[in-house]
Amino acid sequence: MTRLAVFDCDGTLSDGQAGVVNAMDAAFAHVGSPAPPHAQVRRIVGLSLPQAIRQLAPDLPNATQAEVVEAYKQAFRRSREDGSLREPLFDGMADLLHRLHADGWLLGVATGKSDRGLASTLAVHGLADLFVSLHTADRHPSKPHPAMLQAAMDACLAQPETTCMIGDTVFDMQMAKAADVRAIGVAWGYHEPAELLEAGAVAVAGDVTELESLIHA
């Protein structure tokens, strides 16, 4: 029996909010538009970048929204290249991933990050070899569309009943529900536990120890 655990990245595996809000500030400054409040920016983490910009600035012309998207990518890339980007793992996450891997779980990622961004994050933390299925907004529709989860299950020959999605936003929970897999929320990310439960989470873990128990349940 194939057991598959698919994780979101930002807000679930790693804390990348500083990099996100800084790049968003730079992107809106590039087009001469006021940046959205940081609290609002954190709410859209997990969506693909074009969809996130549409939600943050629906009144901007489409061409300007596209400029913001490209400016964000460039700002984020600069921060990665100059060493200023910080995306620390949440406490205990690396050990949890290693334990799941040793116990025979197949591990995947479904994220709104780019291929380049996800590969860099996993490499920095020495986690790339633990994951067998990586899915990003570069190659799939934005969450909550179930395409990333369906592709992960197809790649791993896993069934919905033996697959779980672990994430911190309602987009993750809605994606899991759309793919008919078990949705597990985490309380240390960008959306509140009550929102995750309302969106379909079977439970919300308050720490990594609780998350491990929920994954094995």
| pLDDT tens per residue, range 147-200 | 999 999 999 999 999 999 999 999 999 999 999 999 999 999 999 999 999 999
Q: How far apart are CA 82 and CA 84, in angstroms?
A: 6
- Report the CATH number that the domain containing residue 155 is assigned in CATH: 3.40.50.1000
Task: Indicate if 124 and 60 belong to the same structural domain.
Answer: no
Task: Report pLDDT for 17.
Answer: 87
Burial of 132 (0-12, 13-18, 19+ CB in 10 A): middle
Whether residue 61 sits in one domain with residue 118: no
| pLDDT computed for residue 83 by the predictor | 86
* Domain that residue 127 falls in: 4-15+87-216
Binning pLDDT at 50, 70 and 90, where does residue 216 land? very high
pLDDT of residue 18: 86
The size of the chain, in residues, is 217
Q: Residue 133: which pLDDT band, with cuts at 50, 70 and 90?
A: very high
Are 9 and 27 in the same domain? Answer: no
Residues 174 and 210 in one domain: yes
Q: Is the domain of 127 the same as that of 39?
A: no
Which of residues 65, 81, 97 is at a domain's end?
81
Question: Looking at 66, 81, 96, which one is the last position of a domain?
Answer: 81
**Tens digits of residue pLDDT in 25-67:** 999 999 999 999 999 999 999 899 999 999 999 999 999 999 9
Spell out where 1-137 has E strands: 4-7, 106-110, 131-135
Q: In what order do the strands lie in the sheet with 182-186?
A: 131-135, 106-110, 4-7, 163-167, 182-186, 203-205
Same domain, residue pair 54 and 143: no
- Provide the pLDDT for residue 125: 96
Number of domains composing the chain: 2
Structural contact between residues 43 and 171, judged by C-beta atoms closer than 8 angstroms: no
- pLDDT at 86 exceeding the cut of 90: no
pLDDT confidence of residue 1: 86
Residues 109 and 203 reside in one and the same domain: yes
C-alpha span between 3 and 132 (Å, rounded)? 12
Contact 7, 107 (CB under 8 A): yes
More confident residue, 98 or 46: 98
Clarify whether residues 9 and 31 are in a common domain: no
pLDDT one-digit tens code per residue, 10-27: 999 999 888 899 999 999
Last residue of some domain: 57, 81, 105?
A: 81
